[in-house]
């Protein structure tokens, strides 16, 4: 039998094109490796309980069948969550104390992809299996094979109604807020965010206008990646047409969420992080808030103003969850619109974010643009990507050019001056350099961004055109 290719084992998950790189045959040795890893990490010889969820991709049923059948043969009690968003999957594994979980999804990737996200339980929440927590072991065992003795007779049990329980948990996290009736437009991109948004608005007041809520693994409307500005155009237009209070755009598996204000403008994720941080710290002073290295000036200032502590993390959901375990942080916000709560096992949860935004709008009786505008402490370039062959060489050149600054090497490099900074890092999955610049002044931002771009071009060996992801 052919071996699963090495390149599908990523820093955060397993992901590849179906059926060439990932298929039901490859899923069998991968599942055995996952089972062995979870058993070893939990140091148990007892039968495991493993939850399995999946997205709406055309290849997901076949991969689910292979994963669940393999687990049953190993003596596992498989909890079939059905078609669920990734946040709902995380909630189920954490809430019900399952030993581990496998979510079959390729997130925002195009329709020909599929993948696996893996978690296990721990005393302090969920452990996401990634680069630092076992992915290399899974890759090795998947390709070399592993001997496992079955632990009795396995079974499959269907678990329904998890999204509704997730809504109740989110209401608790948000403090059971009194919410006024707002008009919200949501574009689910025919993907999994439709499920939790629908469940939420059955439990709270609001006029929900749905766009592309029919689950369809071919993504007929547009790619399920809200970080591509073009995918947001119809939503922005609809928000203006409907005179809505804001718009929502989740990604393919629902673990990222972009907000559009009432003017049809994209709200940077750092401002949503600042809003949530302010709300949490207003009630729980001294708690730790986390945010990633790309944009820190606004959330850092807000956390300081409200007597909180902060930690800066590497980019990537597995790294952020890992850092939350280490710090005991209550909340984390990532620049790519992943949001994490201690109360959901340190995993992503978008429902409390929506509820906290609605709570603040209801209490302050202000437009969302006014609320986030009052929190803004810096201006951001948006991520600028360069397809180059010599990323590390360019980073070294920039280190030398800006050697008089404070430089962090947590993730690539982050170069900080008194009133501006930039971070530049290589992608974990592509031959890309990713640049993010922020400045206290909007006009100065443009000049500094152009200065760094010109410096990159001096040293770059391009593999293709550079792109701006907005």
Helix, strand, coil % (nearest 5) of the chain?
Answer: 40, 25, 40
HEC per residue, 379-441: EECCCEEEEECCHHHHHHHHHHHCCCCEEECCCCEEEECCCEEEEEEECCCCCEEEEEEEECC
Do residues 92 and 345 touch, judged by C-beta distance below 8 A?
no
pLDDT higher at 408 or 150: 408
Q: What is the mean pLDDT of residues 399-418?
A: 97
Q: Is 469 a catalytic residue?
A: no
Q: Encode pLDDT of 127-152 as tens digits.
A: 999 999 999 999 999 999 998 988 88
Round to whole Å and give the CA distance between 172 and 191. Answer: 26
Do residues 119 and 100 touch, judged by C-beta distance below 8 A?
yes
Half-sphere exposure of 162 (CA within 13 A, CB side): 25
SS3 266: strand
Give the H or E element holding residue 333.
Answer: strand 331-333
For residue 466, the model assigns a pLDDT of: 53
**Does residue 19 have a cis bond before it (omega within 30 degrees)?**
yes
Measured CA distances, 230 to 221, 235, 348 (Å):
12, 10, 25
C-alpha 8: how far from chain center: 18
Domains of the chain are 6-160 (3.40.120.10), 185-263 (3.40.120.10), 269-375 (3.40.120.10), 379-468 (3.30.310.50)
Tell me how far apart the 2 most distant CA atoms of the chain are, in Å.
67
Round to whole Å and give the CA distance between 458 and 460. Answer: 6
Q: What is the mean pLDDT of residues 15-36?
A: 98
Q: Encode pLDDT of 364-394 as tens digits.
A: 999 999 999 999 999 999 999 999 999 999 9
For residue 430, the model assigns a pLDDT of: 74
Round to whole Å and give the CA distance between 24 and 363. Answer: 51
Q: Encode pLDDT of 320-355 as tens digits.
A: 999 999 999 999 999 999 999 999 999 999 999 999
The gap between the terminal CA atoms of the chain, to the nearest Å, is: 43
CA angle, 376 as apex, 312 and 333 as ends, to 5°? 35
Q: Which two tokens stand for residue 364?
A: 């302050």
* Confidence check: pLDDT of 1 > 80: no
For residue 16, the model assigns a pLDDT of: 97
Q: For residue 123, what are the contacts with CB-CB under 8 A and spacing of at least 6?
A: none
Q: Give residue 48's pLDDT band: very low, low, confident or very high (50, 70, 90).
A: very high
For residue 470, the model assigns a pLDDT of: 34
Q: Spot the catalytic one: 107, 336, 349, 378.
A: 107
Partnered with residue 467 across adjacent β-strands are 385
Q: What is the mean pLDDT of residues 312-320?
A: 94
Place of tokens 């991968």: 30
167 sits in the region (left: phi over 0; alpha: psi -120 to 50; else beta) called alpha
HEC per residue, 75-129: CCEEEEEEECCHHHHHHHHHHCCCCEEEEECCCCCCCCEEEEEEEEEECCEEEEC
Q: Which two tokens stand for residue 378?
A: 């810096």
* Confidence check: pLDDT of 285 > 80: yes
Q: Which two tokens stand for residue 321?
A: 């969850």
Measured CA distances, 200 to 194, 195, 196, 197, 312 (Å):
10, 9, 6, 5, 31
């Amino acid at each position: 039998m052919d071996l699963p290719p090495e390149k599908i084992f990523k820093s955060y998950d397993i992901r590849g094109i179906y059926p060439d790189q990932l298929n039901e045959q490859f899923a069998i040795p991968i599942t055995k490796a996952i089972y062995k890893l979870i058993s070893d990490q939990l140091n148990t010889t007892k039968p495991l309980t493993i939850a399995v969820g999946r997205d709406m991709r055309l290849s997901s049923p076949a991969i689910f069948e292979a994963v669940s059948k393999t687990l049953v043969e190993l003596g596992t009690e498989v909890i079939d969550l059905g078609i669920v968003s990734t946040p709902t999957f995380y909630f189920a594994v954490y809430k019900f104390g399952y030993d581990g979980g496998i979510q079959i999804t390729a997130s925002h990737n195009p329709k020909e992809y599929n993948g696996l996200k893996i978690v296990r339980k721990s005393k302090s929440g969920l452990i996401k299996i990634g680069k630092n927590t076992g992915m290399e072991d899974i890759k090795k065992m998947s390709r070399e094979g592993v001997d496992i003795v079955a632990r009795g007779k396995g079974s499959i049990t269907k678990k329904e109604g998890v999204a509704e329980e997730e809504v109740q948990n989110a209401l608790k996290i948000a403090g059971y807020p009194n919410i006024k009736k707002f008009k919200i437009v949501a574009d689910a991109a025919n993907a999994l965010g439709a499920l939790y948004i629908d469940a939420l608005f059955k439990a709270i007041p609001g006029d929900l206008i749905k766009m592309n809520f029919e689950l369809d693994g071919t993504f007929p409307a547009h790619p399920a990646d809200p970080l591509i500005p073009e995918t947001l155009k119809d939503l922005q237009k609809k928000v203006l047409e409907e005179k809505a209070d804001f718009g929502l755009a989740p990604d393919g598996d629902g673990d990222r969420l972009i907000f559009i204000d009432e003017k049809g403008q994209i709200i940077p994720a750092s401002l949503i992080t600042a809003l949530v941080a302010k709300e949490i710290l207003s009630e729980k002073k001294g708690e730790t808030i986390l945010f990633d290295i790309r944009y820190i000036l606004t959330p850092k200032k807000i956390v300081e103003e409200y007597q909180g502590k902060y930690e800066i993390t590497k980019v990537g959901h597995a790294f952020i969850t890992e850092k939350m375990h280490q710090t005991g942080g209550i909340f984390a916000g990532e620049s790519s619109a992943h949001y994490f709560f201690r109360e959901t096992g340190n995993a992503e949860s978008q429902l409390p974010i929506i509820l906290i935004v609605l709570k603040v709008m209801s209490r302050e009786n202000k437009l969302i643009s006014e609320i986030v505008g009052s929190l803004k402490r810096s201006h951001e370039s948006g991520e600028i990507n360069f397809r180059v062959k010599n990323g590390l060489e360019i980073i070294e050149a920039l280190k030398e050019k800006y050697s008089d600054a404070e430089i962090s090497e947590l993730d690539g490099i982050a170069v900080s001056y008194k009133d501006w900074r930039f971070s530049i890092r290589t992608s974990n999955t592509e031959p890309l350099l990713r640049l993010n610049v922020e400045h206290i002044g909007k006009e100065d931002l443009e000049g500094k961004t152009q200065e760094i771009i010109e410096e990159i071009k001096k040293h770059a060996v391009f593999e293709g055109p550079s792109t701006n992801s907005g």
